[in-house]
Structure 1
């Protein structure tokens, strides 16, 4: 049985997909302290993290059964990749995982700026309702998009 420890918030669908595999058991243990992680990591063959869990040299040393560390997200700056490589532990991530969300967020911010939403919000919170100052620009018959060569610009 291949045991996987999931230490950060990962979509239920992802954990369910792991548990559907007959030879995999996924245990979700969120918000572990570093000491708690060190105490249990030796029982697992795989580790799935997001940003909150720091996969340090000590975690990798204690993870004597670890074969893979998966980062449910883009960066791996919270994982000691050099130490994992030295120990033959594969480190994987999901570089395209946030592409659509980042693109949509960019478009949402552009819309907010076109309609002066941040400025109107600040004025309203200070007790002033000045509708005429914050009408903004209508986007009808205009082209709006994200231009770029990377994953987000091409989405």
Structure 2
């Protein structure tokens, strides 16, 4: 079976694939055109987040049977085109659950203690101690948007800080959680109530620009928002405007459109 691997992985990962007897075409830094050419006669295609598989790529891959996404989201794959052609799309939903949750908490702590400002000042040879006064997480309200695996892991960790947890997810209800674990609310209530908002939803037609300028301005002026899910859930231009105008207290993001 011939398999295209179009994103970089470790040597150990590559060895596992080769030991499985697969004929690997390794193209970790190719252009979209080079990837499309390489995919024309493969049976399988493995990607991470650096490859966008378009409808044209799928259509021109005559022998393609399966696409494997090493990660959670599949928004970088033209899913409808794959379905129409009978190509199976698989992901690895548990691969980074703990890492993403811990990263979320790290960013939350960075915002609350102004660690980023201290680091930036030290790089300039400054120590503006009065600007570094932070806030405790204890007794603050965390609003989690999206209560899948990562959202729930964030919930568990932040409860240990003594935070009050509220959550919004149209696919869950209060009966799915233990008493006093979390309070399920609507999105407007979460937006207006939370001291910290953490996003853990996929990017689709319902979540794109979910937090636009209007919604950002409905947050507390001291509130911070964190996005380690997908770029596009927060409108980035609106976010920059809201932060510059001090409509919100800050933001931490590691995903972009």
TM-score (norm 1): 0.78
The answer for the alignment partner of 1:50 in structure 2 is: 48
Within 2, Cα distance between the matches of 1:91 and 1:69? 5
Within 1, Cα distance between the matches of 2:31 and 2:2? 20
Within 1, Cα distance between the matches of 2:31 and 2:59? 17
Q: Report the CA distance shift for 1:114/1:79 in structure 2 as closer, same or farther (over 3 A).
A: closer
Do the aligned partners of 1:116 and 1:134 also contact (CA within 8 Å) in 2? yes
The answer for the alignment partner of 2:152 in structure 1 is: 154
Q: How far off its partner does 1:123 sit?
A: 3.3
Q: Pick from 77, 92, 95: which aligns with 1:94?
A: 92
Residue 123 (str. 1) matches residue 121 (str. 2): yes
Do the aligned partners of 1:4 and 1:44 also contact (CA within 8 Å) in 2? yes
The answer for the alignment partner of 1:4 in structure 2 is: 3
Q: In structure 1, the residue corresponding to 2:152 is in which secondary structure?
A: coil
- Extract unaligned runs of 5+ from structure 2: 154-257
Within 2, Cα distance between the matches of 1:117 and 1:38? 43
The answer for the alignment partner of 2:67 in structure 1 is: 69
Q: Report the CA distance shift for 1:129/1:68 in structure 2 as closer, same or farther (over 3 A).
A: same
Do the aligned partners of 1:4 and 1:48 also contact (CA within 8 Å) in 2? yes
Segment of structure 1 superposing worse, 33-42 or 65-74:
33-42
Q: How far off its partner does 1:64 sit?
A: 0.6
The answer for the alignment partner of 2:15 in structure 1 is: 16
Q: How far off its partner does 1:135 sit?
A: 6.5
Q: Report the CA distance shift for 1:111/1:34 in structure 2 as closer, same or farther (over 3 A).
A: closer
Do the aligned partners of 1:3 and 1:46 also contact (CA within 8 Å) in 2? yes
String of CA shifts for 1:65-118, please: whole Å, max 9, x gaps: 110011111211121111111111101112222211111112222333453312
Give the number of aligned pairs.
Answer: 150
Q: What CA RMSD, in Å, does the superposition of the two structures yield over aligned residues?
A: 2.7
Q: In structure 2, the residue corresponding to 1:152 is in which secondary structure?
A: helix
Do the aligned partners of 2:54 and 2:78 also contact (CA within 8 Å) in 1? yes
The answer for the alignment partner of 2:102 in structure 1 is: 104
The answer for the alignment partner of 1:36 in structure 2 is: 34
Within 1, Cα distance between the matches of 2:152 and 2:33? 42
- RCO higher in 1 or 2 (8 Å CA, sep ≥ 6)? 1
- Extract unaligned runs of 5+ from structure 1: none
Q: Pick from 73, 76, 81: which aligns with 2:79?
A: 81
Q: How far off its partner does 1:32 sit?
A: 1.5
Q: Report the CA distance shift for 1:83/1:153 in structure 2 as closer, same or farther (over 3 A).
A: closer
